[in-house]
Structure 1
Amino acid sequence: MRYDCVIIGGGPAGLNAALVLGRARRSVALIDGNKPRNAVTHASHGFITRDGVTPTEFRTIAANELLRYPTIDHLQAEVSSVEKVDAGFEVRDSSGFVYKARKVILATGVSEIFPKIEGFYSFYGKSLFVCPYCDGWEHRDQPLVIVSESPHVFHYAKTIYNWSKDLVVCTNGHALLDDEQKEKLEAKGIKIMEQAVSSFLGQSGQLEKVRFKNGTEIKRRAGFVMSEMVPNIQLVENLGCEKEQSGTLKTDDFGRTSIKDLYIAGDASYVNPSQLIFAAADGSRTAAAVNMDLTEEDF
């Protein structure tokens, strides 16, 4: 079967793109490897009508809504390659099955790279987090630690200060703050520790202490760790897409890449903050562009 559009990735961007195209009576294959980045998250926040929804519940609700539209095939498979052909694309999964498509939307999200600190994954998603907009409210006014190896740590700390005034900023052995920034943070009562972090300590996912390599320990109840986000664009790099200096794919305002009929949506485009509501909105916008382009070609 030849589809109007194959969507690679079943997160909020891919799901919402499928919904919009299904409602536009387009034939769609939504191919989902079922490896959501937010699987460790206890709940997602900031999405009106779905505040506090678990990732599993969100995906289940979305999948059930897609069942209303007979032109959508929601398939669980791992995509292994994407090839450009005269009539569009051939998308191959790990079993060797080939899906033919006029258009492709890449909605594969990002991979996160965290500082290598012992114990991190025992607390990630339970008492250590990335996004203060997603988890700040639940840990308001608690003693928090901020760990970052990024030059953006100053802005990160200022943002998290909205939720708690009891903050310790750890730069994990890196000199990331200039004197003026240090003065501003310290004037707000924010402690700065530039020593390398050895480990996170606690029980059953609840952070209790942060230990430094010099033997110092501080008591903390929860925290935020900045990650490096790398767009998952490996599947289409062989197509020769133009890139930005940041390494993301160059697109127009509707997710069209430099390769005709190839689009990108959601966190993989790395244009918006990495939040569920932004990814879903981006999927909707990109799907509208796909439908518009199909309409112009066929009319």
Structure 2
Amino acid sequence: MWLDCAIIGGGPAGLNAALVLGRSRRHVLLFDHNRPRNAVTHESHGFITRDGIPPRRFRELAHQDIAKYPTVTIKPDKAIEVTPYYGGFRIKTSNGVWFQARTIILAAGLKEFLPSVPGIQRFYGRSLFSCPYCDGWELRDKPIAIISESANAFHSAKIVYNWSKDILVCTNGENCLSEAQQGQLERKGIRVNRHRIRELVGENGMLNRIRFENNAEVKRTGGFISPRWDQAVSFGEALGCAMTSQGGFVTDAFGRTSVRGVYAAGDSSIIAPTQLIIAAGEGSKAAIGANTDLTNEDFYN
């Protein structure tokens, strides 16, 4: 049996796409191997009526909503291969099973690579975060660190300044700030330490202070980091989808990629950390794009 759509990725984008397509009476299979990027997060913020919800609870509620629609199936398996097949696509799972779908929505999101700081993983999701719009409120007016090895350091400092004026920018030995940028930050009272970080100190994931290789030690109670991002799966590139200079998929307003029948949603198309509500909205748009194209194909044939 041919599916109308196969959705790869069970995050907020994939879940909302499945909901919209289910309500559109489409036969859908959602591949979700339950290894979300936000597994380290204890609370998700910025989604109206769901502010502060644990990601696991959000998934449970989403699965309950989707279960109302009998044409949608959530498969707890990993898609490992996607190939063109008779005008549609074949999807192979890690269990060696093949499925056929007329369209594909890529919603597997991103892999993130944290700055090369010893022990940083122990604090990530507890007192160090990647998105100030998601977690800035909880760190308001506290002594904050921004750990960034990329050109995003200056922008991050400007944004975080809205929540706290006590900011230390740590470049971890990388030359990612120009002299002009450092001067601008220091004029606003934002300190900069360009030395490599020797150690993050704290207990139970809660940061207490930062030690540098120049023997400096600074008290910080939390902060933000700038991860490096990459696509979690390479299906889109293998299918020939055009990519942006940042590594995301080139899409139109409804998630259509440059390859007919392939759509992208959520972090996969934005290539930046997004809020839950933005990712869910991206999934809805991609679902509408897929349903519109399927409808036109069926209506005129």
- The 2-side partners of 1:237 and 1:185 are apart by 39
- Which digits, 9 at most, give the CA deviation of each residue in 1:145-167, with x for residues without a partner? 11111112111001101111111
Moved more, 100-109 or 181-190: 181-190
Does 1:175 find its partner at 2:153?
no
Provide, for residues 14-70 of structure 1, a one-character-per-residue CA deviation record: whole Å limited to 9, x for no partner: 000000000011110011010000010010000001000000000000000001101
* Corresponding position of 1:54: 54
Q: List aligned pairs for 1:89-128, cutoff 5 A.
A: 89-128=89-128
- On the 8 A contact 1:272/1:278 being kept in 2, the answer is no
Residue pairs, 1:15-34, within 5 angstroms? 15-34=15-34
| Greater shift in the superposed pair: 175-184 or 119-128 | 175-184
Residue range with higher mean Cα deviation, 271-280 or 6-15: 271-280
Please provide the CA RMSD for this pair: 1.3
- Structure 2 alignment gaps of length 5 or more: none
The answer as to whether partners of 1:43 and 1:54 remain within 8 angstroms in 2 is: yes
- Give the distance between the partners of 1:68 and 1:102, measured in 2 at CA: 23
Q: Deviations over 1:95-138 (max 9, x none)?
A: 11111101110100011111111110111111111111111111
Instruction: List per-residue Cα deviations over 1:175-194 (Å, max 9, x = no partner).
Output: 22223322221122111111
CA distance in structure 2 between the aligned counterparts of 1:146 and 1:244, rounded to whole angstroms: 27
1:133 and 1:248 map into 2 onto residues whose CA distance is 21
The equivalent of 2:225 in structure 1 is 225
Q: C-alpha distance in 1, partners of 2:217/2:123?
A: 17
Distance in 2 (CA, whole Å) between partners of 1:255 and 1:237 is: 15
Rounded to whole Å, the distance in 1 between the matches of 2:80 and 2:231 is: 17
In the TM superposition, what whole-angstrom CA distance separates every residue of 1:232-266 from its partner, at most 9, and x where no partner exists? 24123322222233332222222212221111111
Match of 1:248 in 2: 248
One-letter amino acid of the counterpart of residue 158, structure 2? K
Q: Is the 8 A contact 1:233 1:268 kept in 2?
A: no
Counterpart CA distance in 2 for 1:251 and 1:260 is 11
Tell me the distance in 1 between the aligned counterparts of 2:243 and 2:177: 30
Q: Give TM-score, length-normalised by structure 2.
A: 0.96
Task: Give 1:134-149 correspondences, 5 Å limit.
Answer: 134-149=134-149
Aligned pairs (5 A) from 1:1-299: 1-270=1-270, 273-299=273-299
Aligned to 2:192, the other structure's residue is in SS state strand
Please identify, of 246-255 and 20-29, the stretch whose mean Cα deviation from structure 2 is larger. Answer: 246-255
Which shifted more, 235-244 or 166-175?
235-244
Alpha-carbon distance in structure 2 between the residues aligned to 1:119 and 1:69? 44
Offset at residue 273 of structure 1 (A): 4.8
- Taking structure 1 as the reference length, the TM-score comes to 0.97
| Contact in 1 for aligned 2:201/2:208 (Cα 8 Å) | yes
- Separation in 1, partners of 2:183, 2:87: 60
Instruction: Kindly state the Cα deviation for residue 216 of structure 1 after the two structures are TM-superposed.
Output: 1.6
Q: What one-letter code is carried by the residue in structure 2 that aligns with 1:30?
A: L
Match for 1:39: what amino acid?
Answer: A
What is the CA distance between 1:196 and its match in structure 2? 1.0
Contact 2:247/2:271, CA 8 A, preserved across alignment: no
Deviation at residue 272 of structure 1 after TM alignment? 6.2
Verify the 8 A CA contact 2:79 2:92 in the aligned structure 1: yes
